[in-house]
Structure 1
Amino acid sequence: MAEEKVMVEYNEDSIRSLDWREHIRLRPGMYIGKLGDGSSMDDGIYVLVKEVVDNCIDEYTMGHGKQVNITIADGSVSVRDYGRGIPLGKVVDVVSKINTGAKYDSKAFQKSVGLNGVGTKAVNALSSSFTVTSYREGKAKTAEFTQGQLIKEHKEVNTTETNGTEVNFTPDATVFKNYHFINEYVVNQIWNYCYLNAGMAIVFNGKKYVSKNGLLDLLSNKTNAEDIRYPIVHLKGEDIEVAFTHTGDYGEEIYSFVNGQHTTQGGTHQAAFREAYVKTIRDFYKKDYEASDIRQSICAAISVRVQEPVFESQTKTKLGSITTYENGPSMKSFVLDFLSKELDNFLHKNQAVADALKKRIEQSERERKELSGIRKLANERAKKANLHNKKLRDCRIHLNAEPPAKNKEEFQEKQLLSTIFITEGDSASGSITKTRNVETQSVFSLRGKPLNCFGLTKKVVYENEEFNLLQHALNIEEGMDGLRYNNIVIATDADVDGMHIRLLIMTFFLQFFPDLVRNNHVYILETPLFRVRNKQKTIYCYSEEEKQKAVAELGNKPEITRFKGLGEISPDEFGRFIGEDMRREPVLITKDAHIQKLLQDFMGKNTPERQKFIIENLVVEKDIVEAV
């Protein structure tokens, strides 16, 4: 018997009109991208901070206020600027009436990043508490909200406070479940603001951040002096700033910005830079170098100022506009005109830099040709293996896919969730495979311990079948543009062997694809070490401290299970640990980290020094229990 379809009547009652607050809370992804718990730098709570700080930066850009104070403590955020302050009669409207703001024309704000009058409204609607105070010409006005609803509008009062605006908010825990702020992510955001607004000071939790030399400082902090092939080239023009150098690392590392906004997914300005840089170099040396050889190992930053920029989403991570001004040149010709003049002049005046740059390009050319033969054979093997790749259980939605015209926003939200779990052995991969979300979660299974590739050349990526298949699964052979998964999660057992495998995989990424780590795509999956339960309740614990608390809570000698490996956790249980409440720790590289030195210390042939370090820093379980 055919299954009967449930008929739903479609009439006037089916049509709903949501107010601004309801719409933001129902479809938060349209306004802040993915939600997340704070473990990823593009999670929603950081977007909330950014939306508030963007307004402070716009004030500074227009010449008002030289300092911004940011405090984050106990899950709450406070942001204070010293700009003009919101006009007192509009304090409530500016943060609670959609399409209300001062940025719809270019009189009060020119070349600002906030354009649509949405940002602070989204923060307001998605916060359990939101308070805004404006200090303006000796008067102050405060308004308090909960989930976007006005709770109290205070009367104007006299004040001695300096002009400006203060916003305090706490993200709504019912929207951002189990959220936590990672200070390194916030500091990274702050440094970007400082690099793009030389001279402005940002004080975060009592520490002051300031940049004097803009993008030159950015690259100085992203590279190590002993690694770069020539001094950083720093070029500035009207509405454009560029800095670049070459290092010894693989890949391209390009930071792009529009009106002070870090466009993490690039856009027309970044594409224009990549193309214009290649053309300028070819013209200067009068040689038709391969584009990949010219850009190999480049570390660069480009910042442009644009009137009426068009971003591909409210989170402003990708620039879509193709002109710099109304009726002005295309972004492509704007960047090309600048580089073809300024970079060409610089190279003619700095022969030592020109010679060093040429040597680096020709080195990349030699390395590419040496790899060409083995790469061809390896790729042929990978294509055959991909037809029946038992190592990869793929998902349906990938980061590099073209979103459909229909339900585009929903598809893009899922793209941000696209994940590949790298597991050890069949038992662990089996548990994840059975319980994963097949739309957005993939599984790649390793066979035992991978090769320690520290100190080896990229040739090993093609000679080692496992590395080659992983490279193809991620689709990163030609760079990060084709990356298929937004999240690469290393899922190994919490024992000595699992830790070793974890280090070997991270070594592979840091050695050959450091951009994956720099751009915060790599994570470590945290799975529970203990299950503590009685007949009424089960608690999963991720540390000895959590276990002690669970035992105290349940009392009366509860049953305690110690998980030694992922394979011991049943698929039904595993589903709880890779869903919405998944715990994962990002693999972070601090701005002063030296990748090659880091790898040498942990994975090099310095066994005696490493053994001494381990012995001196060893913490045994007995010490942990006593500390608890």
Structure 2
Amino acid sequence: MAQQSAYTEDNIRSLDWKEHIRMRPGMYIGKLGDGSSADDGIYILIKEVLDNCIDEFVMGAGKTIEVSVQDNRVIVRDYGRGIPLGKVVDVVSKMNTGGKYDTRAFKKSVGLNGVGTKAVNALSTFFRVESTRDGKSKSAEFETGNLVNEELLDETSRRRGTKVTFIPDDSIFKKYKYRHEYIIKMIKNYVYLNPGLTMIFNGEKYFSENGLKDLLEDTTNTEDMLYPIIHLRGDDIEVAITHSKTQYSEEYHSFVNGQNTTQGGTHLAAFRESLVRTIRDFYGKNYDASDIRKSIIAAISIKVMEPVFESQTKTKLGSTDMGGNLPTVRTYINDFLGRYLDNFLHKNADVAEAIQRKIMQAERERKELSGIRKLAKDRAKKANLHNKKLRDCRAHLGDLKNDRRLETTLFITEGDSASGSITKSRDVNTQAVFSLKGKPLNSYGMSKKIVYENEEFNLLQAALNIEESLADLRYNNIVIATDADVDGMHIRLLLITFFLQFFPELIKEGHLYILQTPLFRVRDKKETIYCYSEQERRDAIEKLRGKPEITRFKGLGEISPDEFKYFIGDDIRLDPVMLDKATSIEELLSFYMGKNTPNRQEFIIKNLKVELDTVEDLESVGEE
């Protein structure tokens, strides 16, 4: 029998605040990541600091917030009231210290629990806070949460407010890099939700006149909209609604007290329900809820007193009450839409007619698809029992209590050898693999029917669980993993076409990526370097000197599972697939998959990360 180890008072120790944050960073800032995903921790660090600045603006203190990101140094400056000078150190380094426990001062605050800036401090190699008020200034500097310097200026001409500078710790955030696109999206969300606020990022100004209307116009090309945006505002609520001409599923942007609740919550559920009720009442017809909401693009923002979220990163609202003397969230939203949306539809007959036509079209399509959908679902159920295409992982995006749900990844790969290498080297807790058999079908210009008729697409849709909406998406990251050659590029284009055609919101919400894989391995007896470009290969040869052994990888199948684990682990390199709002989805699809082969060949030549022997190699790309 195994000997039990002693369990005494010596086994029990209390971690101080910074040790706990550094040991369990995921509890405070979600996933770590390298910056290739918008919900990586390095962006949450910026958000935590910004939330405090926004709370100052909401309280009527300071109309401008400046953000600068140069390499990995972040500076955030507001012109609010400034932290009380005697509490500057405590506010960023003592748990349960903050000004937001007094609800009179911060009635509808975001950063309610006083953890945010402490987490930023603990997870940064350098952290400096400086507060200016009443003509005096106090600053404090920290390294990984340890105070190393503080200074008080009894006289200063600096404008009042708070300035925070930090550099994330690269021993926690491995090989990270800030992508400015994600920071700009975050900043835009802040200005949409706070009319009158000016934010400056690296010298560029951001300001919104029309709140959520501007948000929808920024995320969707107006040519893809069925009718102009319906924009409604109340005391503690704002909504913007339109329907898409091109996408099939529902797309929502939801916010509570300026917080982007990416997982929705009670307010989003109430909005979806109230929308259906209001539309049914207006037309006097009991339309199916899915037909009413099909292709909808909407945003909702509400303000709640002392909101309760389901996790520290505040991505899902749990509160059922608005607070104060107001009714429940559900009743409040229902009453608002029942009155204001109904009024709008009565006054705007052309929009009301367009919505009704869309609903009736959705009803026809649903009925046409019902038979084939049932067959496809039965096929998918049978396949799920022995689905050779999907090797699933244990955690999923919907597991809100799972610390690693944001790391969940589905690799879409082609061919048995590549699938085998990824499957053997993956992390079975968070990484799943879906194997394609050869090139997928070119779905350009086809209807949703093809998703059910084509077994591969049907199984992919079932694996992702996105048939009805993104709300049930099972993986946070969908990664196309194909060879870095002409065929690989073509498969990539065909898959991007599939997602653009049927699930563009997956791309809009930043879930789709391309896996970068090394083109060369350069090694000597002491060191191995994997190179992702010709330049990296030259640098590696120079570094190792002598005559290192150079291997060229022609496909993923040539990389052994032992090596593959390096490319899908901590050092994974991902390129996010992003939509440019200036281009409509229709234009994008016709460029990639329409009848313009020479343009497409030119695009592929410029973007293919591999040296091709001849341009003729590309002749077949995109013509199938």
TM over 0.5: yes
Alignment length, in residue pairs? 612
1:610 aligns with 2:600: yes
Corresponding residue for residue 35 of structure 1: 32
Tell me if the contact between 1:518 and 1:588 (Cα under 8 Å) persists in the aligned partners.
yes
Corresponding residue of 1:238: 235
CA offsets per residue over residues 154-200 of structure 1, 9 Å max, x none? 12242211111100000001111111111110000000001001121
Rounded Cα–Cα distance in structure 1 between residues aligned with 2:290 and 2:516: 37
C-alpha distance in structure 1 between counterparts of 2:76 and 2:274, whole Å: 39
- What whole-Å deviation, never above 9, does each CA across 1:377-430 have from its counterpart, x for those lacking one? 1222222222221111112222234x6xxxx4xxx2222222111110000001
Check if 1:394 corresponds to 2:392: yes
- Could you tell me which amino acid in structure 1 is paired with residue 231 of structure 2? H
* Distance verdict in 2 for CA 1:293–1:202, change over 3 Å: same
What is the CA–CA distance in structure 2 between the aligned matches of 1:24 and 1:307, rounded to whole Å? Answer: 27
1:117 partner SS: coil
Residue 56 of structure 1: how far off its partner (Å): 0.7
Q: What is aligned with 2:192?
A: 195
Residue of structure 1 in register with 2:46 after alignment? 49
Structure 2 residue matching 1:154: 3-state secondary structure: strand
Q: Distance in 2 between matches of 1:216 and 1:243?
A: 6
2 CA distance for matches of 1:138 and 1:616? 56
Distance of 1:617 and 1:224 partners within structure 2:
25
Partner of 1:360: 358
Aligned to 1:94: 91
Residues of 2 paired with 1:16 and 1:42: CA distance? 32
Distance 1:130 1:616 in 2: 41
The counterpart of 2:460, out of the listed 463, 467, 470, is: 470
Among 296, 301, 318, the alignment partner of 2:299 is 301
SS in 2 for 1:579: coil
Mapped to 1, the partners of 2:612 and 2:439 lie a distance apart of 29
2:436 to 446, 451, 461: 446
Q: How does 1:44-443 map to 2 (within 5 A)?
A: 44-248=41-245, 249-326=247-324, 328-401=326-399, 408=401, 412-443=402-433
Task: Give the match's secondary structure for 1:484.
Answer: coil
Corresponding position of 2:498? 508
CA distance in 2, matches of 1:371, 1:416: 33
Structure 1 letter corresponding to 2:491:
I
Amino acid corresponding to residue 146 of structure 1 in structure 2: E
CA 1:609–1:40 in 2, change beyond 3 Å: closer, same or farther?
A: closer
1:129/1:147 contact within 8 Å kept: yes
User: Residue 508 of structure 2 aligns with which residue?
Assistant: 518
In the alignment, the residues of structure 2 paired with residue 526 and residue 428 of structure 1 have an alpha-carbon distance, to the nearest angstrom, of: 14
Q: Quickly say closer, same or farther: Cα 1:209–1:425, change in 2 above 3 A.
A: same
Correspondence for 2:616: none
1:227 is displaced (CA, Å) by 2.1
Residues 323-351 of structure 1, C-alpha deviations (whole Å, 9 max, x = no match): 00146311111100110011111111111
Residues 142, 154 of structure 1: 8 Å contact kept: yes
1:592, CA displacement in angstroms? 2.9
Work out the CA distance in 1 between the residues paired with 2:21 and 2:603.
51
- Please give the per-residue CA displacement for 1:133-153, whole angstroms capped at 9, x wherever unaligned: 111122111100001110001
| Residue equivalent to 2:620 | none
Q: Say whether the 8 Å CA contact 1:41–1:185 is kept in structure 2.
A: yes
Change over 3 Å in CA distance of 1:51–1:476 after alignment to 2: same
Of stretches 608-617 and 60-69 in structure 1, the one that deviates more from structure 2 is: 608-617
Give the letter aligned to residue 326 of structure 2.
G
**Partner of 2:223: helix, strand, or coil?**
coil
CA distance in 2, matches of 1:511, 1:110: 44
TM-score by length of 2: 0.95
- Per-residue deviation, residues 350-375 of structure 1 (Å, max 9, x unmatched): 11111111111111111111111111
* Secondary structure in structure 2 of the residue aligned to 1:319: coil
The one-letter code matched in structure 1 to 2:220 is T
For 1:281 and 1:227, how far apart are their aligned partners in 2? 22
The verdict on how the C-alpha distance between 1:429 and 1:611 changes in structure 2, with shifts beyond 3 A counting, is: closer
Of 478, 484, 507, which residue of structure 2 is paired with 1:494? 484
Structure 1 partner of 2:7: 10
Structure 1: gaps of 5 or more residues: 624-628
CA contact (8 A) 1:222 1:592 kept: no
Q: Distance in 1 between matches of 2:581 and 2:311?
A: 28
Q: Following TM superposition, by how much is the alpha carbon of 1:524 offset from its aligned partner in structure 2, in angstroms?
A: 1.0
1:619: how far off?
9.6
Does 1:459 pair with 2:449? yes
For 1:626, the equivalent position in structure 2 comes to: none
CA contact (8 A) 1:62 1:110 kept: no
Q: Distance in 2 between matches of 1:153 and 1:619?
A: 50
Q: Report the Cα offset of residue 613 of structure 1.
A: 5.6
State the distance in 1 between where 2:273 and 2:612 align: 59
> Is the Cα contact below 8 Å between 2:485 and 2:608 reproduced in 1?
no
1: CA distance between counterparts of 2:610 and 2:175? Answer: 29
**Equivalent residue for 1:538?**
528
Secondary structure of the residue aligned to 1:573 is: helix
Give the residue type in structure 1 aligned to 2:472. G
Once the two structures are TM-superposed, the CA of residue 223 in structure 1 deviates from its matched residue by 2.1
Distance 1:105 1:434, change over 3 A: same
Instruction: Classify 1:228/1:397 alpha carbon distance in 2 versus 1 (closer, same or farther; 3 Å).
Output: same
Matched residue, 2:565: 575
User: How far did 1:616 drift?
Assistant: 8.5
Alignment-derived partner of residue 576 in structure 2: 586
| One-letter identity of the residue aligned with 2:98 | G
Q: What is the root-mean-square deviation in Å for CA atoms of aligned residues?
A: 1.7
CA drift of 1:478 comes to 1.8
Choose 463-472 or 150-159, whichever is displaced more: 150-159
Counterpart CA distance in 2 for 1:424 and 1:29 is 32
Using the TM superposition, give the Cα deviation of residue 593 of structure 1 relative to its aligned residue in structure 2, in angstroms: 3.5
Quote how far apart the aligned CAs of 1:514 are: 1.3
Aligned CA distance change for structure 1 residues 615 and 548 (closer, same or farther; 3 Å): closer
Counterpart amino acid of 2:131?
S
5 Å-filtered alignment, 1:536-575, equals 536-575=526-565
CA offsets 1:241-300 (integer angstroms, 9 cap, x no match): 001011111111110011111111111111110111011111111111111110111110
Q: How much does 1:615 deviate?
A: 7.2
Rounded Cα–Cα distance in structure 2 between residues aligned with 1:400 and 1:112: 26
Structure 1 stretches of 4+ moved >4 Å: 611-623
- Assess, with a 3 A threshold, how the Cα gap between structure 1 residues 541 and 27 changes in structure 2: closer, same or farther: same
**Is 453-462 or 382-391 further displaced after alignment?**
382-391
Deviations 1:495-549 (A, max 9, x none): 1100110111111111111121122111111111111100111111111111111
Deviation of residue 620 (structure 1)?
8.6
Who is 1:485 aligned against?
A: 475
**Secondary structure in 2 matching 1:255:** strand
Q: Conserved in 2, the CA contact under 8 Å of 1:394 and 1:441?
A: yes
* Runs of 5+ consecutive residues of structure 2 not aligned to the other structure: 614-624
Q: What TM-score, normalized by structure 1, do the two folds share?
A: 0.95
